């Protein structure tokens, strides 16, 4: 019986384009008595309609206005994109338009609406929309299935955890599921550490794909490799990887990354490095994720010198260290009490093309309170100011912790400066006045 392995650190699925809203500017022409937008500067039609829907408590009150519009599938899609965030309003608009005398929803519009309903976990609406699609013979399609499955998987839902999950079985034998559909489901089982169930899904996929003379893809194998790693089944992960190669499916860099992560977390970093060297020997080019996995593994076992060597090798391979790479070194140096070395690494992030992020500052700020030295608390105050200047907003807890530390060490003037900064950032209670 074929064991299938698919390694995906994280499945990348194309999300519907309606999740990205296009920014727009509205310019009004000044006038003496009234302000009227010229035809050239008028709002796009979808924005006007979306605003009307949002402002109305009941669409029946704007019945005539909506019915008078010349609806096209493209216009409906654009309006639904505009109404993506207020999901219930978007569904209300979709249902209202479903009874329009001169317009019928396309399968894509139904997919949009099903995605909205799945996002807000409105299972009754999902069922209704699926039934309408079937009655009109416009679906459901594999794309519809992928949308519903991705929503459940991203929420970590399984049949035992959510009664709405059985909606997925509506699709069984209704269309020929492709590898993407199977991969989504298998990855979901892996995420909840149900690797045997993921294997069952992929086994079913293998049988059906073979009947259709289709081949498994690298993503399927990669997902299972990663799933076994999550479950701590190192030998099985390695076995599936070997079987993948035997079956003629070439691993990708992501596959190797998944296997390296398995060894770093569940086995030994030495075995991970063996896989890394094998990967390079076969002509694969490691990316920043690959290097970061090995560096994390070396840091975790206290081999900081070798980790530094790997970062040098990373630079030699023209793979620039990113902020996650620097954060690894800062975190492990600080955890070992070598805060000065952590600050040295931090200086490199500020002087190069790789700027520190919110995690960088949080790691350093936390470490400043370990030794309880007055100088460390002064550094914490300076880091907090720099953090705000770079556009990051610290939590109230962070502000208060630094303030308390400065006051306890007699740095009242610096504490006042931090307090003013806290007020400027809106992190002071409303009743508090400077």
pLDDT value for 6:
37
Alpha-carbon gap, residue 219 to 254, rounded angstroms:
9
Q: Is the Cβ–Cβ distance between 258 and 292 less than 8 Å?
A: no
Three-point CA angle 58, 59, 63, nearest 5°:
135
CA 191 to chain centre: 14
Q: How many CB atoms lie within 10 A of CB 219?
A: 21
CA 255 to chain centre: 19
pLDDT value for 3:
43
pLDDT value for 174:
53
Nearest by Cα to 87 from 62, 122, 58, 133: 122
Nearest by Cα to 24 from 5, 42, 8, 7: 42
pLDDT value for 270:
94
Alpha-carbon gap, residue 234 to 256, rounded angstroms:
14
Reported pTM: 0.59
pLDDT value for 39:
42
pLDDT tens series, the chain, 434 aa: 444 433 333 333 333 333 333 333 333 333 333 333 444 444 677 788 878 777 776 666 566 666 678 888 888 888 888 887 777 888 888 888 888 878 889 988 898 888 888 877 787 888 888 888 888 888 777 777 777 766 765 655 544 444 444 445 555 555 555 566 666 666 666 665 666 766 676 666 666 666 766 666 788 788 778 777 777 778 888 888 888 888 888 899 999 999 999 899 888 899 999 999 999 999 999 999 999 999 999 999 989 999 999 999 998 988 888 999 999 999 999 998 899 999 999 988 866 677 888 899 999 999 998 888 889 999 999 999 998 888 888 888 888 899 898 988 888 899 888 888 888 877 665 444 44
Alpha-carbon gap, residue 175 to 142, rounded angstroms:
7
Alpha-carbon gap, residue 247 to 226, rounded angstroms:
18
Size (the chain), residues: 434
b vs e for 356-366, b when ≥16 Cβ sit within 10 Å of the residue's Cβ?
bbeebbbbbbe
Q: Is the Cβ–Cβ distance between 223 and 186 less than 8 Å?
A: yes
Q: How many CB atoms lie within 10 A of CB 116?
A: 27
Q: How many CB atoms lie within 10 A of CB 347?
A: 11
Structure tokens, 201: 């899904």
Alpha-carbon gap, residue 415 to 147, rounded angstroms:
52
Cα dihedral across residues 382, 386, 389, 394: positive or negative: negative
Residues 6+ apart with CB under 8 A from 268: none
pLDDT value for 393:
83
Alpha-carbon gap, residue 243 to 222, rounded angstroms:
12
């Amino acid at each position: 019986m074929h064991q299938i392995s698919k390694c995906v650190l994280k499945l990348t699925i194309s999300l519907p384009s309606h999740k990205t809203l296009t920014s727009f500017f509205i310019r009004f022409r000044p006038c003496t008595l009234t302000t009227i937008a010229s035809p050239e500067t008028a709002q796009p039609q979808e924005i006007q309609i979306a605003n009307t829907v949002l402002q109305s408590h009941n669409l029946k009150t704007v019945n005539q206005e909506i019915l008078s519009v010349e609806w096209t599938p493209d216009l409906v899609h654009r309006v639904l994109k505009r109404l993506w965030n207020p999901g219930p309003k978007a569904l209300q608009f979709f249902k209202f338009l479903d009874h329009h005398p001169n317009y019928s929803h396309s399968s894509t519009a139904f997919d949009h609406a099903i995605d909205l309903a799945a996002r807000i976990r409105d299972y009754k609406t999902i069922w209704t929309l699926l039934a309408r699609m079937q009655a009109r013979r416009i679906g459901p399609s594999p794309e519809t299935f992928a949308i519903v499955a991705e929503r459940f998987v991203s929420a970590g839902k399984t049949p035992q955890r959510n009664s709405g999950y059985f909606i997925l079985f509506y699709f069984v034998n209704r269309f020929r599921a492709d590898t993407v559909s199977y991969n989504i489901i298998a990855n979901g089982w892996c995420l909840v550490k149900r690797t045997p169930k993921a294997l069952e899904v992929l086994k079913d996929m293998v049988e059906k794909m073979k009947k259709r003379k289709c081949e498994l893809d690298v993503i399927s194998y990669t997902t299972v490799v990663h799933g076994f790693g999550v479950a701590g089944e190192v030998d099985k992960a390695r076995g599936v990887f070997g079987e993948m190669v035997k079956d003629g499916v070439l691993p990708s860099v992501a596959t190797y990354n998944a296997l390296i992560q398995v060894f770093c977390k569940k086995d030994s970093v030495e075995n991970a490095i063996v896989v890394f060297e094998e990967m390079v020997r076969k002509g694969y080019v490691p990316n920043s994720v690959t290097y970061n996995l090995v560096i994390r593994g070396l840091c975790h076992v206290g081999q900081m010198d070798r980790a530094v060597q790997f970062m040098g090798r990373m630079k030699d391979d023209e793979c620039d260290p990113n902020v996650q790479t620097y954060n690894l070194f800062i975190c492990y140096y600080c955890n070992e009490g070598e805060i000065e070395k952590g600050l040295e690494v931090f200086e490199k992030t500020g002087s190069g093309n790789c700027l520190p992020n919110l995690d960088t500052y949080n790691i350093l700020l936390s470490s400043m309170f370990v030794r309880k030295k007055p100088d460390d608390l002064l550094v914490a105050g300076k880091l907090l100011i720099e953090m705000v200047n770079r556009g990051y907003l610290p939590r109230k807890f962070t502000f208060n912790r630094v303030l308390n530390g400065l006051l306890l060490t007699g740095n009242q003037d610096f504490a006042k400066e931090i307090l003013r900064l806290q007020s400027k950032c809106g992190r002071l209670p409303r009743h508090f006045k400077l």
